[in-house]
Amino acid sequence: MSAPAPPRPDDRVSALSAITRPRWTAVLGVVAGIALLVLCANASRLSVATVVAGLPNIADFVGRMFPPDLSVLGTAVVLMGETLAMAVTGTVIGVVIAVPTALLASRTVFPERWLHYPVRTLVNVVRAIPELMLALLFVSAVGLGALAGTLAITIATAAGMARLFADVFESADRRAWDATAATGASRAQRITWVLLPENLPTLASYTLLVLDSNVRAASLLGLVGAGGIGIELTTRLRLFEYQQVLTIVLVVLVVVLALDRLGALIRRRLV
């Protein structure tokens, strides 16, 4: 009767289910994160009071937009067509450049460091340039107009997609690739018979998403004179023609929403 009683299973269960105290490093991390957020909010002049004080101004601004002035509808539609054309052309040519670039930049397809390393570096450098800045560069190179904007979108898409596609290729399933290598097929053959067919749905899905964001980018490039609907928007804003501005914004809204729905439909069929 002197042996200690074995611990009851209930005791073990209650001990194991006790709430563990957070480690001090975790607490410190959370505190540091909150401090950083406060600093950022301060630096970005975030002030609830200003927003509240400004509410009547915002209401006034929106109020002056109504009713929309449909006299610019024709111009807006034509310019939106140009915007769409810029986005589509830039996306297609960009992706055509991006696919081979991504293949060269991916470590699994081209393990040769002298090849993938410089390509990857170039892609990252180009990717760091904002689209609007590219548009400014091309405006000074080829002059005002849609060509400058299309070139800016092409280059931005090529770099952005090359990076994304390279990551897709690197994380792709290697088994069929290796099995095909064992049949004696060359690397180029493995790319078009295995790697691309396996990843086509993913690539197409990303391309549609980028087309979407390129339409929005193309709507803005007019700000720097690179064609599209943006130039009309800035002109009307400077002339305080808010009712015409609303018409232009609505045209952009309808096209972007329609494209978004269309993209979602196609993506669902792809995957």
Cβ of residue 181: shortest distance to other proteins, in angstroms?
8
With binding defined as CB under 8 A, does residue 182 bind other proteins?
A: yes
Give CA–CA dist 140/206, Å, rounded.
Answer: 31
Length of the chain: 271
Cβ of residue 176: shortest distance to other proteins, in angstroms?
5
With binding defined as CB under 8 A, does residue 189 bind other proteins?
A: yes
Which segment (107-115, 132-140, 197-205, 245-253) binds other proteins by CB under 8 A?
197-205
Residue with tokens 């990551």: 167
The answer to whether the beta carbons of residues 248 and 74 sit under 8 Å apart is no
Question: Binding residue for other proteins (CB under 8 A) from 77, 85, 122, 185?
Answer: 185
Q: Which two tokens stand for residue 77?
A: 């539609």
Cβ of residue 97: shortest distance to other proteins, in angstroms?
18
Residue 198 has what DSSP assignment?
Answer: H
Q: Which two tokens stand for residue 23?
A: 């480690």
For 48, list phi and psi in degrees, rounded to 5.
-65, -35
Q: How many residues bind other proteins (CB under 8 A)?
A: 21
With binding defined as CB under 8 A, does residue 186 bind other proteins?
A: yes
Which segment (16-24, 135-143, 195-203, 244-252) binds other proteins by CB under 8 A?
195-203
Pattern of binders to other proteins over 201-240, x per CB under 8 A? x---------------------------------------
Residue 112 has what DSSP assignment?
Answer: -
Name the helix (H) or strand (E) containing 163.
helix 146-170
SS3 content of the chain, % helix, strand, coil (to 5): 80, 0, 20
Q: Which residues bind other proteins (CB under 8 A)?
A: 175-176, 178-186, 188-189, 191-194, 197-198, 200-201
